[in-house]
Amino acid sequence: MSKEIRVRYQDVESSINQIEQSSESFDTQMLQQLKGDNVLEVADQLERINQELKEIGEAYKEILRMNNQAVKTSVQGLEAQDVQLSGQMKR
């Protein structure tokens, strides 16, 4: 019983690029001008929440970047093994 794993390298690379573009466009700069002259406690709370959201967004983008790099490394390893094995099979 033979099971075969096929990796469509271009599709993987395209998906990684889409994720990278999406994470770059992720806007963490919401509500920056909220406080202004407003001294209400709600404005202070919203500003604090906005800062936390910004930090979470930046952490998420970093995790995506690291994950994409790990996927790229794995795919490159698979591709190298694929080339090596196909070369050995042709002998």
| Residue ranges of domains in the chain | 60-91
First-residue to last-residue Cα distance in the chain = 23
Give me the pLDDT at residue 30, please: 56
Q: Which pTM was predicted?
A: 0.56
What ranges make up the beta strands (E) of the chain? none
pLDDT at 68 over 80: yes
Closest Cα partner for 82 from 27, 12, 2, 6?
6
Q: 43-65 pLDDT, tens per residue?
A: 788 888 889 988 998 899 899 98
Q: 32-45 pLDDT, tens per residue?
A: 555 555 567 777 88
